[in-house]
Chain A
Amino acid sequence: MQLTADRSFFNQIEEIRNKIFRITKRILVSQEEAEDATQEVIVKLWQMDESKRNGFKSLEAYSVTIAKNYCLDRLKSKQAQNLSLDDRYSGSVSDSLTKKIEQHDDLNWVGKLIDELPEKERMIIQLREIEQYDFDEIASILNLPEGTIRVYLSRIRKKLRKQFLDIQNHGIKSN
């Protein structure tokens, strides 16, 4: 009985787990921390009563909200401990710049640009452009009005577009 219940839970959770991993990685930037955070969220879901778990209109949206809150807590405690030296801060500025130019053809540098955005903007990009959530879902996950999210999204899209064009032009000038 218990075993089949567990199995159905893991089947149910499989795709959600991947989503949570991508979202936590976007917020925390570090791979290991995202793995830990994902495990943490899954444990929280697993410890929940089955009736409660199945009672959600969308378990996915609920899980993403838990994941988001967990990550923001992590970031806060890291800042409090003055330990904000995560992956993206390693290496000097010129280092990351040369890397950006080197990886011009690679799609990786797009991810790097996104990861340099503030955490709220990273979350919005991840939820809308990558996970393709509806505005009302994003609004409930981030606890913000839909209009605010549209404004944010517009601002981020324009900002990224400008950065993309800048990099492209630099590439042409240096050649």
Chain B
Amino acid sequence: MELKAIEKLLNKYLEGETSLKDEAVLRTYFTQESRIPEAWIPYRQFFGYCKEAKKETFPVKQKKQTKPIKSWMLVAASIALVFALQLSGLFEQKAAPFEKQQAELAFQQFQTQMKTVSNHLNRGAQKVAYLDYWNDTTQKLIK
């Protein structure tokens, strides 16, 4: 009996002649009845989909609501900043002995190099002085 009534409604439904009330009857039948004729399975899928689709809501983005900066955020940021500065300061101090060693080594190397350069220069200067002396005497001879 029930099936006949549903079938009648379905025929009306396909012709676009059902009222919203009729369609509500169909909707409850197809979404709640567990045993339905196999030929009607597409209807169940369709009405099931429509029921689910009506539940979809506009996606509300909640991140935007937490935008205003809270005072505790400022405190946390300043603590982090101070900590970061101190940390980098520590690294600088730790790095210092090594850099000092390198600088001293470089200075020593530079010193020895300068010493050799000055030795050579002095020798060159002596030779130039001798050359000057020789030059003078030859000038005198020529005159």
Contacts and interface: CB of A to CB of B under 8 A. Distances in A.
Interface residues of B, number: 23
B14 A107 contact: no
B52 A107 contact: yes
Contacts of A18: 56-58
B20 A17 contact: no
Nearest to A111: B49
Contact of A160 (B20, B41, B46): B46
Main secondary structure of the interface of A (DSSP, over half): helix
B46 A17 contact: no
Given A132-B20, A150-B16, A164-B42, A107 B56 contact: no
Contacts of B46: 110, 129, 160, 164
Contact of B14 (A25, A38, A132, A157): A157
Contacts of A38: 58
A73 interface: no
A130 B23 CA distance: 11
A35 interface: yes
